[in-house]
């Protein structure tokens, strides 16, 4: 009933141009249940998905990823969110026809630990904020909110999608915390930081449609 209700809302709000992409939601939160917010947002956006819980099913292999058009990989807030085998599978997936979204606090650091930040996600990791910062969507529809976030410097193939706002003299001012490439999105914060379900769904809708 909940899913049907959300689909009714979506039909009148989002689906002027339906998103048909099937997403593999790789739940890398190691049992912390962060995935619930992502599932609600995907349902709200009308995006079909398959939930893969690493804590229960083990690490997905390349074939599991290739069955889906887009992989949405959520991290556990740890710099060691990716095992080397997971990183190898994700790299092979992206080297072929795969497209991926990686999201979560410390996800930038986690990508750096396995050398994927510059190789595939269009940024060079610099650090993580301990305090909540005002984040601003750099392109498209306006969206601002407070969150802890990873940040970095965009590489040549990357396009800034979110940045840290604030005083010009703030050392974090203008730092990239969301980057898009032709095959990937990286967001250095958790979706729960976005204050409402509609905006969460809009972000995932735009990201999946934009790949």
pLDDT in tens, 69-100: 999 999 877 888 899 999 999 999 999 999 99
Tell me the average pLDDT across 186-208: 95
Instruction: Quote the CA–CA distance of 165 and 49 in Å, as a whole number.
Output: 33
pLDDT in tens, 138-158: 887 789 999 999 999 999 889
Q: Can you give the CATH number for the domain in which 177 is found?
A: 3.40.50.880
Residue 84: which domain range?
Answer: 2-209
pLDDT in tens, 27-39: 987 767 778 999 9
Total domain count, the chain: 1
H helices of 58-127, in order, are 62-66, 84-95, 107-113, 117-120
């Amino acid at each position: 009933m909940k899913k049907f209700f959300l689909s009714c809302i979506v039909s009148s709000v989002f689906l002027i141009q339906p998103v048909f992409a099937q997403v593999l939601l790789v739940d890398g939160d190691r049992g912390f249940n962060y995935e619930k917010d992502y599932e609600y947002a995907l349902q709200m956006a009308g995006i079909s998905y398959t939930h893969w819980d690493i804590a229960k099913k083990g690490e997905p292999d390349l074939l599991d990823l290739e069955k889906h058009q887009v992989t949405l990989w959520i991290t556990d807030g740890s710099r060691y969110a990716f095992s080397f085998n997971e990183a190898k599978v994700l790299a092979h997936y992206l080297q072929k026809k795969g497209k991926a979204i990686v999201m979560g606090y410390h996800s930038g650091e986690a990508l750096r630990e396995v050398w994927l930040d510059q190789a595939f996600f269009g940024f060079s990791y610099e650090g993580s904020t301990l305090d909540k910062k005002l984040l601003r969507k750099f392109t498209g529809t306006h969206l601002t909110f407070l969150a802890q976030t990873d940040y970095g410097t965009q590489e040549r193939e990357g396009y800034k999608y979110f940045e840290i706002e604030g005083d010009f003299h703030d050392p974090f001012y203008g730092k990239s915390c969301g980057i898009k490439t032709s095959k990937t999105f990286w967001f250095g914060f958790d979706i729960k930081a976005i204050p409402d379900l509609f905006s969460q769904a809009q972000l995932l809708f735009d990201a999946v449609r934009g790949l």
